Structure 1
Amino acid sequence: MLAIEDDAYAAFLTRLGASWRDAAQKPRAVVVFTAHWTTRHPAVSMTDGPYETIHDFYGFPEALYEVTYPARGSKAVAERVRTSLAAAGFPVSVDPARGLDHGAWVVLRRLFPAADVPVVQASVVPGYAPEQLFRIGEALRPLRREGVLLIGSGGTVHNLMSLRWTEAEEAEAWAVAFDDWLLEKTIRRDVAALFDYRRTAPHALRAVPTPEHLAPYWIALGAGLPDQTPEVLYRDYQYGSLSLLAVAF
């Protein structure tokens, strides 16, 4: 619903994208790892043409299915991603036909509404351990110096069975506790604890019942610069526990 509702989170993303343009820091391209494309090994889109907008959700208002985001791809950047991951020892496949799923286009449409930044969409591998996902980010870190923005699009607390669909006024304490722990360990760069989050984090199994939505976080963390402190750009919750957390690494 972020695509068609003008709430506080949508306003934040719009401001963030505008701040990059105003400061002449619009990226040359974007690589977005989306929780809604899961594969057994890393995969990247490979096209220069405009993407199909995939409406991979059901039962929402008709207006949402009418939204399109005709961003173009970049074979050159996709090849940089592929070769960088292959050099780090990851088997990588390319997909010339896949469109942008809602983990990518919903966020990008707010950041870059003109669809004027080339996009490479990348999958996440929920079967990989956090350490392996971190290494994916590390392998792509040099792309930052080439003007490429790396985005992990998922959710730190994403348990649809625990949501209160009548909009809750306050966030659930267990969801806040998990994110508090995650951020504290992240800022301290305590990667040993982070990688062992299922055993050491409070409410880990409730916050992360399946790993695909947290997987992009580990990739973004790995892509971050080790000598810079991560910055929380936005934090809120919908329906009691659905985490809307944006962190800059």
Structure 2
Amino acid sequence: MISPIFVGHGSPMMAIQDTPCTEFLLAYGQKLKPKAIVIFTAHWETEVLTISATNDVYETIYDFRGFPDELFQIKYPAKGDIALAQSLAERFQAQGIPVALDSERGLDHGSWVPLSRMFPTPECPVIQVSVNPYLPPAEQYRIGEALRGLDQEDILIVGSGATVHNLRALNWHATEPDAWAVAFDDWLVKNTQDQNLEALFNYATEAPNAKMAVPRPEHFIPLYITMGSGDPQRPAEVIHRSYEVGSLSYLAVSF
């Protein structure tokens, strides 16, 4: 059994820089032997939930600019699995969730950056899934619920995003986390561990500093998807917490 996890992927630089978060990802990945990985990435937005469906090696997408050439030389040669992608689609359809398959798109940095630190050499199929940031949190949670039980099949579900992701609020001179970001994560951790879904679904009005922490929800909603995919009888566990440039959160939670 492999618990679903939400991880913060932060800057693409984490692919080549060693930080407390990358050290955590490597150590955590070494403990796992998944048969496959299903990853919801904040950097693939679609109106209809879309699943990568290929048996080939994915193209590595460099969906960023202004970074060192070294980043653009990285390849993450993970393969897909059409049969598993179709199986996931059937799960969503059974719950009335519209779904599409995509045979062309490669892995964006929301996928290959954290996966390259967890599993430097890809050894199992990877299925990338898009997100729709305009759906409410309760619907994101329902998307995750459709995948419950995959943990019993040793399929690792990953939500890749960030709980606090406001690039305009980054503090490049910070020597410790910004208090407002910590307060938001504190609220989130407490309500997640308490399984207070009502509060979590209404985070925008109930959480402190919500508008600062989540100016746009595409990085935040993978948390709800991952939460929904976990066993509700199993308590959520904070497995890593660190920050960069004041407020960029690398909070990671297993469900």
Q: TM-score, normalised by structure 1?
A: 0.96
Q: How does 1:131-150 map to 2 (within 5 A)?
A: 131-150=138-157
Quick check: 1:170 aligned with 2:176? yes
User: How many angstroms does 1:228 deviate by?
Assistant: 1.0
- Distance in 1, Cα, partners of 2:210 & 2:24: 27
Return 5+ residue gaps in structure 2 as ranges. 1-12
Give 1:151's aligned residue: 158
What SS does the aligned partner of 2:14 have?
A: coil
- Distance in 2, Cα, partners of 1:240 & 1:67: 28
Quick check: 1:243 aligned with 2:255? no
**Overall identity of the aligned pairs, in %:** 50
2:197 corresponds to which of 175, 179, 191: 191
- Distance in 2, Cα, partners of 1:88 & 1:127: 19
Quick check: 1:97 aligned with 2:109? no
- Distance in 2, Cα, partners of 1:10 & 1:233: 13
What SS does the aligned partner of 2:147 have?
A: helix
- Say which is worse superposed, 111-120 or 152-161, in terms of deviation: 111-120
Q: How does 1:24-63 map to 2 (within 5 A)?
A: 26-63=33-70
Contact 2:45 2:130 (C-alpha < 8 Å) held by counterparts:
yes
Quick check: 1:127 aligned with 2:139? no
User: How many angstroms does 1:77 deviate by?
Assistant: 1.2
User: How many angstroms does 1:223 deviate by?
Assistant: 0.8
The one-letter amino acid of 2:142's match is R
Alignment length (residue pairs): 243
Deviations 1:199-218 (CA, angstroms, capped at 9, x unpaired): 11000011000010001000
The one-letter amino acid of 2:150's match is L
Quick check: 1:112 aligned with 2:110? no
Q: TM-score, normalised by structure 2?
A: 0.94
- Distance in 2, Cα, partners of 1:66 & 1:99: 15
The one-letter amino acid of 1:3's match is A
- Distance in 1, Cα, partners of 2:147 & 2:234: 17
Deviations 1:55-79 (CA, angstroms, capped at 9, x unpaired): 0001001100100100000111111
- Distance in 2, Cα, partners of 1:142 & 1:127: 26
Aligned CA RMSD, in angstroms, stands at 0.7
User: How many angstroms does 1:7 deviate by?
Assistant: 1.6
The one-letter amino acid of 1:228's match is R
Give 2:24's aligned residue: 12
> Which consecutive segments of 4 or more residues in structure 1 shift more than 4 A?
none
Tell me which of the two structures has the higher relative contact order, counting C-alpha pairs closer than 8 angstroms and 6 or more residues apart: 2
User: How many angstroms does 1:172 deviate by?
Assistant: 0.5
User: How many angstroms does 1:142 deviate by?
Assistant: 2.1
Deviations 1:79-128 (CA, angstroms, capped at 9, x unpaired): 11111011111110110000000000001111111111110000011011
User: How many angstroms does 1:169 deviate by?
Assistant: 1.0
Deviations 1:27-75 (CA, angstroms, capped at 9, x unpaired): 1000000000011121000001100000000100110010010000011
Quick check: 1:68 aligned with 2:54? no
Return 5+ residue gaps in structure 1 as ranges. 21-25
The one-letter amino acid of 1:192's match is E
Quick check: 1:85 aligned with 2:84? no
- Distance in 2, Cα, partners of 1:214 & 1:81: 22
